[in-house]
Structures are given as structure tokens and as C-alpha cells.
Amino acid sequence: MRRVFILGLGLFLAACGGSGDKPKLQPMTPNSRLIYHGGAFGVYTMCDRGNRVYMTETGLFQVVPGGCPDGQP
């Protein structure tokens, strides 16, 4: 009975520990502020030095100059 318990516990821990992909890291400058993350394509929106930056997980991005009204990150 003890061996069955240890085997079951080992299988449970092995299944939980190695599954799933790690999330992709998105580069942000140290002073930027993340506003939104979500959507079907993994859209990130952030303020950086008064500019609004839209970025997807695939690496496509667009910058809107002066897009953050207060100008703060």
C-alpha cells in the first residue's frame, strides 16, 4: 500500500511540474507602464515617455506619439 501511495504521489508531482509552456517575455523599458494585456492575439498596450505603444506577442508594434495624455510612464 505504501508503494502505491508513493508511486501515485510521484506521478502526480511529475504531471503537475512539467506541463505547460512558459509565457513569452515582452521587452519594456524600466520606466514604462503596462496599461492592458489581452485579446486574441496577445496585445500589449503601454505608456513610455508620453508615447502609447501597442505590441503583439508576434513582435509587431505601433507607436502613437503623445498617446498618453499626462506624459508620464
pLDDT in tens, 4-51: 777 777 766 666 665 556 656 656 777 788 787 777 777 888 888 888
- The CA distance from 39 to 17, in Å, is 27
Would you give the end-to-end CA distance of the chain in angstroms? Answer: 59
Cα–Cα dist 68/15, whole Å: 45
Count how many Cα atoms sit within 13 Å of the Cα of residue 3 in the half-sphere of its side chain: 0
Q: Is the pTM of this model over 0.85?
A: no
Q: How is the chain split into domains, by residue range?
A: 26-73
State the Rg of the chain over Cα: 21
